[in-house]
Structure 1
């Protein structure tokens, strides 16, 4: 396939299992039609429009939490922990980052107990290893998207092998759409190895089974327990990092939280157990808690704070500036949101410290208290777990031709080149406009260790033009040397995994980052007009978007997209910010009538 025409025809004729327009997660939401225009005209109204779709997750949660499948998940996780087996979460893209987050929450829960009760050190160390995660592409993909990996079931299978999972363990596979090949690969390998398997996704199981063969294969497997979390289309069509991943974090996170709540009385001394918060010792009502959180975030004070935060980011990026988030507990939440902005809105991805060619990312993330190697270990709760695959292994796995010629460098040495620690990085403040923004939750902003953290923050942020802060939670203290504090008031319920802390930060970051991009013209109505087509699913999504917005048929859109991809690859210079092939194609087709190739 040497020409764009041949590649387009191949996709149209031979990749029909990746034509996903029938799935609700790929469709536009009728309530957010005109979203971009509302955000640009009336920002608070646009924020409320975005938040309104989160209510769909609330409605679906009542069905999910009452289901036999959810009860089976809680029972399986609890039983696995009691017998000393392992639990593994697997995902790709946003759900891969969610899987890493769940493992990190588990590890941080136990390290926190050990810090408070040193006599629990050995117990905490052993229990920390009971939960692991598989991210398609390894931990490297947490901070920079890895092209094409999700299209290969063999990659998912291999990562299960490398994780050492065995009979008696539990795999919880998570896929927003329910059709991700690499995630399905983890299911297939886990089934062959005798694991107990659960599959959580956000499209109706019946639609997936009818239209997507690889999905049907696992959904109809009696050895796989299916959790259908579907709640309808996303606020932005196809942006499953939003409501779909919120539903998954809520359901799967609640199940793990409940399992840990049930486990603690069997492991902890009575005196320690009695000293824990009541909300650690009693299962929470997930639907009621989510309802409270959504109500808090939709209140006028919270919307006003998010509008001010969005305006600050919009103005900075419009001036070609760079923002550096600085955080502690929220580091992993910010990694997830900022990494996903790159393929969603065609923003420059995070840049390695030895890369002097690629444009710097608009946003970056820093831990002000630790050097990079220690910062990575702290945020993950362990050393980075990366792929050290060579060309021979990619060939064995049937990977794309490029991996056999030049294997992608995804190992631990590469992830450490993303300097997320306290090292000075002039590239973050050498632009004409720049800012450092502290992102904190109320408990850490008012906690005993905040003085040490603020001193480190002051050192790191000193070279920046502006120093801002965002605080999520019931109160926000005055922070010295900070120009503005965006306080998003909401209740934060404490549970063993800190689930409601994670959900609050996720909802706020998703809302602010999506609104910012909408204000900057990176959305068209409620469509991701600047998406980067780096895999088969995104080629399909881009083709459907072009067809919708340029008024052409799907085949014409697909051909035009492949043509643009080829032309941009030839014309984009090293160090130049890349343009979205989808946005360029839409503009070209709107300007001139399309001509289908003969």
Structure 2
């Protein structure tokens, strides 16, 4: 598949990152040009406008809008709905729409992520590979005739997402199948994809951009283009709905025709992307990556603090875990799991309110019965899925204390780091002495931790904020990016470019720390069918073994680390462990010892994960 091929621009990314962080970032942003080019092609085709018209017509008739996905696309749906709901909440507060209308339209967008909202934070095994799981979750969410469902899958082959497309059709809804691989490849190699592509009642939206910057890492360009086109559709729906009119919101010009909006969106996205890819912006991001690498090498940890961009930042931190075999967020009270390298805190006093703040709604986790599980999976899988459900219920999600009640769980000290990410709505958190971000910054400085501020704001904020910005620079790095002079009601270009920035920073950091070889994710966690296939092919590439032998070796390595992986304890990457055993011809214990010795990473503590 195209999404699983290496990108020619980044063939030596791992080696470049270890020699020159700035050059590695520049290469990653250069690959993002594929996203900008694809978006321009979609604008010229008129497809974004056509889809927007169909969605607003469905909502005007009382329908709802669903976004379904797994992993990165599941988080994409949660993010899109959070952006939508936040706008309507603001519209009600500001009087841009009457409260009843705003409350009604706020509820019209619904995310359906494989594994429920718990999976937004930590990957959930056993859901992505089953069409029946997707059918059930969408039905449980209440899909019905007149609704519109965007079934989003980067590869175009994910069973869960395909199940939601069929469930939408069966309910009388209008399904859009959104994907990033060429039709001819999917038809040739994947029968379940073939059936979807040949069903005329399912609308197809192919957003192929080419290979990813890191081989197979579809959280990057594939999900970026999906975010760009879908948030533009939501923006058009708002403009055409007639239910809201925010006068002068963000500098937007009310008189301009919505039909010109996609082209203006693309121009704004290009303008912001150029700030990332060169000049002071690239230099500041280089300092950010360098700081994080130094912290992790010392065995330290990083705390992130965010307000309006919390869901964006949480998306990126959660996706690092399976991509680079990092320890996931640790729950409050868990003394056995390895502490995560990074964690996120938001300006809410407790974590119950914090999760609603991130999602812009109360979190929704799965509460299925054992009989429901039996109806979905073969008998031999029931016990495993039932055990998984016990770990992903609402009370378990709330154990991730991302509110201020969790700050005492990760006090910063010398050798640690702190990064504050702020959007234009977060200025009170920055400027006021009692502001959440300001207090966290000062605490980090007092503790001797490294610190940085990443501010994404309109030009006037930078003109008016020179004094307090100088104060922030006194304690660490400041990375500043200006949003387009003409902002959009949903801030879409900003969200896309922030995603590109976070993807590049986390990828360059992991590559510099040796978790990318060339542009291969040698630390990937094979937690589902797609990732098992990917890890097998990596072993083939690194050992010369045939596919069957490499697959057998992978599963033997998984057996060695499975217990530690499930409990969140430190363990070696299964691809690296398998390759070491094959190359040296030693037993598993010796292979693990040699792996840690040759990579220069200790087998315990904060760094290895």
TM over 0.5: yes
2:481 matches 1:489: yes
Per-residue displacement from partner, 1:198-218 (whole Å, max 9, x unpaired)?
111111122112210111111
- Of stretches 212-221 and 479-488 in structure 1, the one that deviates more from structure 2 is 479-488
Aligned-partner Cα distance in 2 for 1:275–1:61: 25
Per-residue displacement from partner, 1:460-513 (whole Å, max 9, x unpaired)?
562754243222345375355672133143434521212122112111100100
Q: Report the CA distance between 1:118 and its aligned residue.
A: 7.7
- Look up the SS of the partner of 2:344 in the other structure: strand
1:564 corresponds in structure 2 to 557
Among candidates 43, 48, 56, match of residue 34 of structure 2: 56
2:13 corresponds in structure 1 to 35
- Contact map agreement 1:209 1:216 (CA 8 A) in 2: yes
1:413 corresponds in structure 2 to 395
2:72 matches 1:94: yes
Taking structure 1 as the reference length, the TM-score comes to 0.89
Among candidates 439, 457, 462, match of residue 437 of structure 2: 457
Among candidates 370, 373, 378, match of residue 349 of structure 2: 370
Aligned-partner Cα distance in 2 for 1:103–1:208: 29
Query: Structure 1 residues 472, 485: CA separation in 2 closer, same or farther (over 3 Å shift)?
Result: farther
Per-residue displacement from partner, 1:195-239 (whole Å, max 9, x unpaired)?
011111111122112210111111111011111100110000010
- Of stretches 484-493 and 451-460 in structure 1, the one that deviates more from structure 2 is 451-460
2:448 matches 1:472: no
Matches within 5 A, 1:39-438: 39-67=17-45, 69-117=47-95, 120-263=98-241, 266-268=242-244, 273=247, 277-279=251-253, 282=258, 283-285=261-263, 286-398=265-377, 400-403=381-384, 406-408=387-389, 409-429=391-411, 433-438=415-420
- Look up the SS of the partner of 1:97 in the other structure: helix
- Look up the SS of the partner of 2:404 in the other structure: coil
- Of stretches 347-356 and 561-570 in structure 1, the one that deviates more from structure 2 is 561-570
Aligned-partner Cα distance in 2 for 1:224–1:573: 38
Q: Report the CA distance between 1:405 and its aligned residue.
A: 5.3
Q: Report the CA distance between 1:27 and its aligned residue.
A: 1.0
Per-residue displacement from partner, 1:253-272 (whole Å, max 9, x unpaired)?
11111121212xx2246xx5
- Could you tell me which runs of 5 or more consecutive residues in structure 2 were left unpaired when the two chains were aligned: 588-609
- Look up the SS of the partner of 1:150 in the other structure: coil
- Look up the SS of the partner of 2:175 in the other structure: strand
1:541 corresponds in structure 2 to 534
- Look up the SS of the partner of 2:210 in the other structure: coil
Query: Structure 1 residues 88, 185: CA separation in 2 closer, same or farther (over 3 Å shift)?
Result: same
Q: Report the CA distance between 1:548 and its aligned residue.
A: 1.1
- Look up the SS of the partner of 1:267 in the other structure: coil
- Look up the SS of the partner of 1:577 in the other structure: coil
Query: Structure 1 residues 450, 111: CA separation in 2 closer, same or farther (over 3 Å shift)?
Result: farther
- Of stretches 82-91 and 424-433 in structure 1, the one that deviates more from structure 2 is 424-433
Aligned-partner Cα distance in 1 for 2:52–2:221: 22
- Contact map agreement 1:323 1:428 (CA 8 A) in 2: no
Taking structure 2 as the reference length, the TM-score comes to 0.88
- Of stretches 489-498 and 138-147 in structure 1, the one that deviates more from structure 2 is 489-498
Per-residue displacement from partner, 1:409-457 (whole Å, max 9, x unpaired)?
322212111101011443422676322221112x235x45644585333
1:12 corresponds in structure 2 to none
- Contact map agreement 2:238 2:244 (CA 8 A) in 1: no
- Could you tell me which runs of 5 or more consecutive residues in structure 1 were left unpaired when the two chains were aligned: 1-22
User: Alignment length, in residue pairs?
Assistant: 566
- Of stretches 537-546 and 352-361 in structure 1, the one that deviates more from structure 2 is 352-361
Aligned-partner Cα distance in 2 for 1:268–1:457: 32
- Look up the SS of the partner of 2:418 in the other structure: strand
- Look up the SS of the partner of 1:259 in the other structure: helix
Per-residue displacement from partner, 1:326-345 (whole Å, max 9, x unpaired)?
11011000110000000000
- Contact map agreement 1:348 1:578 (CA 8 A) in 2: no
Aligned-partner Cα distance in 1 for 2:249–2:481: 27
Matches within 5 A, 1:497-536: 497-536=490-529
Aligned-partner Cα distance in 2 for 1:411–1:51: 38
Query: Structure 1 residues 276, 43: CA separation in 2 closer, same or farther (over 3 Å shift)?
Result: closer
Query: Structure 1 residues 249, 453: CA separation in 2 closer, same or farther (over 3 Å shift)?
Result: farther
Aligned-partner Cα distance in 2 for 1:80–1:114: 22
Query: Structure 1 residues 275, 324: CA separation in 2 closer, same or farther (over 3 Å shift)?
Result: closer
Aligned-partner Cα distance in 2 for 1:365–1:181: 31
- Contact map agreement 2:269 2:497 (CA 8 A) in 1: no
Per-residue displacement from partner, 1:95-142 (whole Å, max 9, x unpaired)?
000001111111011111222228732221111011111111111111
Aligned-partner Cα distance in 2 for 1:570–1:75: 50
- Look up the SS of the partner of 1:326 in the other structure: strand
Query: Structure 1 residues 373, 284: CA separation in 2 closer, same or farther (over 3 Å shift)?
Result: same
Q: Report the CA distance between 1:301 and its aligned residue.
A: 1.1
Aligned-partner Cα distance in 1 for 2:240–2:434: 37
Kindly report the root-mean-square deviation, in angstroms, between the aligned alpha carbons of the 2 structures: 2.4
- Look up the SS of the partner of 2:523 in the other structure: coil
